[in-house]
Amino acid sequence: MNEPGDLHIQQSSAANVPESTLAPLKPLETTLNNPRPTEISSNILARNEETPPSLDHGDTLDSRPQADTHDLPQIQTYEISSSYIRKLPNELTSEIFQCCLVGPISIPWRVEMAPLNLSQVCSRWRQIALATGILWADIAIVIDAELYGAVGFAATGVEIIRRCGQSLISLRLELTGDWLLSSTQPFTEILLSNASRWKRLFLSGRLEWLEPFFALPPGSVDSLQVLEVRNEGPTSLSSLPLVQGAKSLSEFICSHNMTAEAISCLPLSQLTSLHLLRVLMGSDTLLSVLNQCTSLVQGVFVVRSQDIDPHTTTQPSACTLPLLKTLYIILMCPGDFGWLQWLNLPSLAHFELTAQLGAPFISSLVPTISSSRRLRTLCLCVIISPSDLEEILEAAPLLVTLEVIRGRMLSRSVLDRMASGELVPQLASLFCAIEALDGLSPHLDMLESRKEETTPAAHIDEVTFYDEIRGNFHSEDLLGLGRVQRLVKDGWDITSPWTDGLSEASFPVSM
């Protein structure tokens, strides 16, 4: 399962360059007054070296009336194409610049990416780029303690933030490696001094350097919409007054364990997305948290401890999440999913249930999963009985993706009903287990039946089989491998652990 979320930043190509060679960005006034920024002088020299010998360095296209005849069409083409650009109003040019952005400004910075490259073309473009604050409002600082110090990169970050004007700022701040607390102080200062301007924050590193920021009083980050805090360490997040009453916060992601006090600071009733990736609490406490998430649309919970509160003697009450469309539950500890039966999810469209230690599926969960009849994605990495799975699929006419990759195969009854289109008529992607030597052929029969024009069902155009066959066996003993190879040759997208890298000649004709 890929964790939801939309912050994926590549580290700068300058990642292995010593800090001393990366000059910080020049202040705004210096850049405006300097016709050619010093930080791009090497690029200009490189372009000069590539200038054809026939063109003197002091010449321009307009100053060469004696140009060779064969140059004239190129000159005219340039003049025609560039005239439109020169006549564009500044406001329209600014909007075009905004469309050129393909990612955040990376520190260590990448001069070939917008808006840095746009500001190098000419003085007019530079002035427009520097006057458009939103161009500078998405920043990524990804540095490693073993390669860099902090001061130079923090100074560059401060200058970019200065260029943002009054725009709200998105920041990805990722400090990898073993940083000394004193070395991270410049980045802590950046967080503190711009608290009211943050729009989206992705913070990764030791929790200690973030604590002064998290300890800010309620109301400090009223513009903050998304907060993501990640760290693989065991440290618990014990308090989070920063977000208490944060009126704009709608998405919260945390890979730390959060104490009850920290969770109580979250504005749960207004969150639309909540990812708790290290849940160390009893199921009754988690249900209590969910009961407050009345606006939740997407929830991801990785349960690493499921201790039952010994003081709880009453039966949990039903918890209705009217807007929840996506729910991923991953159980990474001994326990069960029984608490899920108390959830009422009338809008559920995407559901994943994973048990790392083999916890079985519980029949009482079927209504929780199937009651919406809106399922589009179903992923069950648990051992589920054929009857329970069939009941869920009966209530999933809109299902597009089905993953049942652990334990038992799809039953003959399910395969026959899928073949006719009676079950999951819109299914397009199938990921399933094969647990018997003769189990592959019925699945292939179903796939070929659904592709026939007379079958009222969508063709399943993406298929992956997983090996759940117990004991040792040879590939030649598995019936249907030759058919798989021929279907792949005919253009089918089928992946299996037994046919990858093998040619059709490897299989007997009887297959």
pLDDT exceeds cutoff 80 at 34: no
pLDDT tens for 60-102 read 434 444 545 566 777 777 666 666 667 788 889 899 889 988 8
Average pLDDT, the chain: 81
pLDDT value of position 506:
46
pLDDT tens for 344-372 read 999 999 999 998 877 788 999 999 999 99
Tokens at 225, concatenated:
């919409």
372 and 399 Cβ atoms separated by less than 8 Å: no
pLDDT tens for 464-494 read 998 887 766 666 667 778 888 888 888 999 9
For the ranges 52-56, 247-251, 314-318, 383-387, the lowest mean pLDDT is seen at 52-56
Q: Which H helix or E strand runs over 46?
A: helix 41-49
At residue 112 the predicted structure's pLDDT band, cuts being 50, 70 and 90, is confident
pLDDT exceeds cutoff 50 at 5: no
Calculate ∠ Cα 101-106-111, nearest 5°: 75
pLDDT, mean of residues 221-237: 88
For the ranges 77-86, 304-313, 424-433, the lowest mean pLDDT is seen at 304-313
pLDDT value of position 407:
66
**How many of the other CB atoms lie within 10 Å of CB of 376?**
16
Q: How far apart are CA 165 and CA 133, in angstroms?
A: 5
For the ranges 5-19, 92-106, 269-283, 424-438, the lowest mean pLDDT is seen at 5-19
Percent of the chain at pLDDT above 90? Answer: 45
**How many of the other CB atoms lie within 10 Å of CB of 268?**
18
Residue by residue, what is the 3-state secondary structure of 349-415? CEEEEEECCCCCCCHHHHHHHHCCCCCCEEEEECCCCHHHHHHHHHCCCCCCEEEECCCCCCCHHHH
Percent of the chain at pLDDT above 70? Answer: 77
pLDDT value of position 232:
64
**Residue whose C-alpha is closest to residue 224's, from 187, 259, 271:** 271
At residue 113 the predicted structure's pLDDT band, cuts being 50, 70 and 90, is confident
pLDDT, mean of residues 397-413: 91
Greater confidence (473 vs 387) lies with 387
79 and 147 Cβ atoms separated by less than 8 Å: no
Q: How far apart are CA 212 and CA 207, in angstroms?
A: 10
pLDDT, mean of residues 443-467: 92
Greater confidence (107 vs 37) lies with 107
pLDDT value of position 469:
78
pLDDT, mean of residues 101-107: 88
pLDDT exceeds cutoff 50 at 3: no
Q: How far is CA 346 from CA 369, 372, 375, in A?
A: 9, 5, 10
pLDDT value of position 349:
98
For the chain, which residues make up each domain, given as ranges? 18-52+70-213, 400-511
pLDDT, mean of residues 317-346: 91
pLDDT value of position 18:
41
pLDDT value of position 8:
34
pLDDT exceeds cutoff 50 at 134: yes
pLDDT tens for 294-308 read 999 999 999 887 665
pLDDT exceeds cutoff 50 at 36: no
**Residue whose C-alpha is closest to residue 176's, from 211, 212, 209, 214:** 209
